[in-house]
Amino acid sequence: MSSSAFHRSAIVIDACAPILRDGDNADLWIKGGANCALATVALHDDSRASTLDAIGSLYRQIGKRNDLVLCRTADDILEAKKTGLFAIVLAFQSSAALAQRVDMVGIYYRLGVRSMNLAYNQAEAAADGCMEPRNGGLTTFGRQVVAEMNRVGMLLDLSHTGRRATLEAMELSAAPVAFTHSNAAALYDHPRNITAGQIRRCVDTGGVIGINGHPVFIKEGTVSPTCEDYLAHVDYMVETAGIDHVGLGMDFSHRPGEQIPPSRYARMMAEGVWSPDTLPPPPWTYPWKELAC
């Protein structure tokens, strides 16, 4: 099977899509041959009110189109692929919208949220973020949040969380975790990138790492990395974590022109050092195990 044919047949999931908060941007992913993306509906500066507004807005935009569908389970994504619809999964990049209430995890889950990060770069009530100098671990509230996310079946995302807190969360979690949009610190030692130890511990949980396409996390000294620079992170992760544990989390925060557009997905597959023959068996999804719960 050729790389382009594989790309067309696979279920391609982008695990971090901030600009999908505006549903009209879904056309960018559809053009690139993606079938599903995790749309960010909450960041660190979102209150409960603004988060509910964002969820409601995306619901309305999905309702206005006949080619989009909100998905809550892995089976929903499979069905979307079969029927030619683009699947959207709701995701938080911060736990701030919980407003320090553990019960909000279940409430957001019932609204369709399936992935949440504990902290966005800075310190939050649940944990320190990766840019916080003190590198504190999980708080008591954070431990309660991890347990509740496990209970309801929400994916624990650790992409922006501090290194110590990620290790504590992975030790505590009874379910697979994900770094939905993180790169290799071994290639670029940026606080947002993750170490070999974090990678191995994620694999131990059965989790997945989505390689980040945001330019500032790919190569030191440039804000204009090449596709080859990005693929170096993919190759490193495949070698370190194993191909079953590597996915995409492109983190497109602007429309194409400033970042690698989704239309290059097929090219990235064709130019990798791996081939379709080396990839896991169907249904080629990410994060399949986590969304199956």
Place of tokens 């916080």: 132
Instruction: Measure the CA–CA gap between 287 and 239, rounded to whole angstroms.
Output: 19
Under 8 Å between Cβ of 241 and 267: no
pLDDT of residue 138: 99
Statement: the pTM of the whole predicted model exceeds 0.75? yes
CA–CA separation, 136 and 205 (whole Å): 22
Nearest to 160 by CA among 36, 16, 12, 14: 16
Q: Could you read off the pLDDT of 27-59 as tens digits, one per residue?
A: 999 998 999 999 999 999 999 999 999 999 999
Percent of the chain with pLDDT over 70: 85
Query: In the numeric block, which tokens belong to residue 64?
Result: 């206005």
Averaged pLDDT of the chain: 90
CA distances from 157 to 30, 34, 183, 191, 243 (A): 24, 21, 14, 16, 19
Give residue 49's pLDDT. 97
Least confident of 4-8, 234-238, 288-292: 288-292
Provide the angle, in degrees to the nearest 10, between the axes of the packed helices 196-204 and 227-241: 50
Name the residue ranges covered by the structural domains of the chain: 3-291
pLDDT of residue 289: 42
Q: State how far the alpha carbon of 65 is from the alpha carbons of 75, 79, 86, 108, 111, in Å.
A: 21, 17, 10, 23, 20
Higher pLDDT, 95 or 270: 95
Q: Which residues contact 242 (CB under 8 A, 6 or more apart)?
A: 203
CATH 3.20.20.140 fits 3-291, yes or no: yes
Residues 133, 149, 279, 249, CA torsion sign: negative
Give the separation between CA 230 and CA 261, rounded to whole angstroms. Answer: 13
Cα three-residue angle 125-128-131, rounded to 5 degrees: 135
